Amino acid sequence: MTFTVGSLLALPAAGTSSLTPGVGEERPITWGHVCELQEPWRWLGPGALVMTTGIGIPATTEDQCLYLDGMLGAGIAAVAVDEVMAETPFTPEALAHAGRIGFPVLETVHEIRFVTVAMAIAEAAQQEAAMRARRAERTHASFLLDELCDGSLPAEPAARLAGAYDLSAPFTVAAAQPEDTRRALDEAYTACDAAEVSVLATVREGHLVMLVEPGAGSRAVLEELAVAWRGIGVSSRFQRLDELPTAARQARGALVGGHADGRVVHFEEHESSSLFLPNDTDQLRRIARQVLGPLRTYDQQRGTSLTQTLRVFLEENRSWVRASERLFVHRQTLIARISRIEKIIGRDLSSMDDAAECWLAVQAAIGCGDLEPVEAGRAD
């Protein structure tokens, strides 16, 4: 937040008021300097607050107006005069002129030393610089997490970059869907800063995504934020950052499938408890890839979504009508796609055995985080 004339007037410690109320209060102040010379603009420049006991203030209204014009022309923010020491105070006509040109004339109580005012300005400038640096750091952190979610960074360079933000393995990913994701992004960083919890956060596809280290600190922050954000889903722990895309899907899956509703839901709490599927994530992934691996490779290489087509077809109990309606395609188009899927995976979906195997593979993919619990998108 920029420190302005209005900011200075609002500081009780500065003991300063305006002789031109409402004039130029938005003008930024970057530094304060005592100057008793008659032409301060020759020595001071943009953003300066000129503080004076009044020695340099001209005696006549005409010269006072020129004095004010010179400071305005140099970009000086304002002039502050000691309330009792000025031998020739600004005349009402000069103050009226200051109001017309938009240059603020201030008055500081005699008991407040000018160094106190200057220190207040310097402290505000330092705070503003720190805030700018923090905003830049947060922006970079968000870009980094975006790249990690895309899987575009190899594990070792990614670990070094994350280490610059004091993040190291093991990791977890948290996902939420607050009403205002941009405001929530600021809330996430603010809460983590206050709790001294290292975090990378970004907004992706309507979700707020956070990368944190598991522990008491991050758990407390997530529990606090979950109340405001209507719930947070958290992934399983993982060691390598190239596993982050899967962890992000797990977190979103926990959020959706676990019906978070104002609380933190961990992926392990809602993963598959099928009589026919294991609970181990690696085992689920092996099962899913054994059946769906060729199909997912085909999708990745050709930009199609046949895995989603298969999933919808099975979820609709192999109903051509309901599946085609849900996928927004003609029935004949769906028939052609299913025929292509059967050739790719080497299964006959009219066979109960093969259909059941594919269904379990889909559930395993959801259970390990390779597929979203509710996946939207094309079904080409």
**In what helix (H) or strand (E) does residue 33 lie, and over which residues does it extend?**
strand 31-34
The DSSP bridge partners found for residue 245 are none
pLDDT at 379: 42
How far, in Å, CA of 116 to CA of 13, rounded?
8
In angstroms, the first-to-last Cα distance of the chain is 49
Model pTM score: 0.57
- What is the pLDDT averaged over residues 35-62? 93
Integer angstrom CA distances of residue 358 from 92, 287, 310, 341: 88, 10, 8, 11
The strand pair at 172-176 and 232-234 is best described as antiparallel
**Which two tokens mark 316?**
């609709």
Task: Please tell me the total number of residues recorded for the chain in this structure.
Answer: 380
- What is the pLDDT averaged over residues 231-235? 93
* Residue type (1 letter), 322: R
Q: Kindly report, residue by residue over 263-317, the tens digit of the pLDDT.
A: 999 987 765 445 577 767 778 888 999 999 999 999 999 999 999 999 999 999 9
- Cα-Cα-Cα-Cα torsion 17, 21, 27, 31, nearest 10 degrees, comes to -20
Q: Kindly report, residue by residue over 97-114, the tens digit of the pLDDT.
A: 999 999 999 999 999 999
User: Comparing C-alpha atoms, which of 117, 74, 121, 79 is closest to residue 98?
Assistant: 79
Contact between 285 and 370 under an 8 Å Cβ cutoff? The reply is yes
Q: Kindly report, residue by residue over 145-185, the tens digit of the pLDDT.
A: 999 998 888 889 999 999 999 999 999 999 999 999 999 99
Q: What is the C-alpha R_g of the chain?
A: 32
* CATH no. for 132-270: 3.30.70
Range 340-365 burial, b when 16+ CB lie within 10 A, else e: ebbebbebebeeeebbebbbbbbbbb
Q: How confident is the model at residue 92 (pLDDT cuts 50, 70, 90)?
A: very high
Contact between 284 and 364 under an 8 Å Cβ cutoff? The reply is yes
Q: How confident is the model at residue 126 (pLDDT cuts 50, 70, 90)?
A: confident
Q: Which CATH class is domain 281-368?
A: mainly alpha
So where are the chain's domains?
Answer: 5-112, 132-270, 281-368
More confident residue, 95 or 120: 95
At the fourth CATH level, the homologous superfamily of domain 5-112 is HprK N-terminal domain-like (3.40.1390.20)
Least confident of 6-10, 77-81, 83-87: 83-87
Least confident of 69-73, 187-191, 225-229, 253-257: 253-257
Q: Extract the runs of DSSP E, i.e. beta strands, from 157-204.
A: 172-176, 199-204
Contact between 72 and 101 under an 8 Å Cβ cutoff? The reply is yes
* DSSP annotation of 59: S
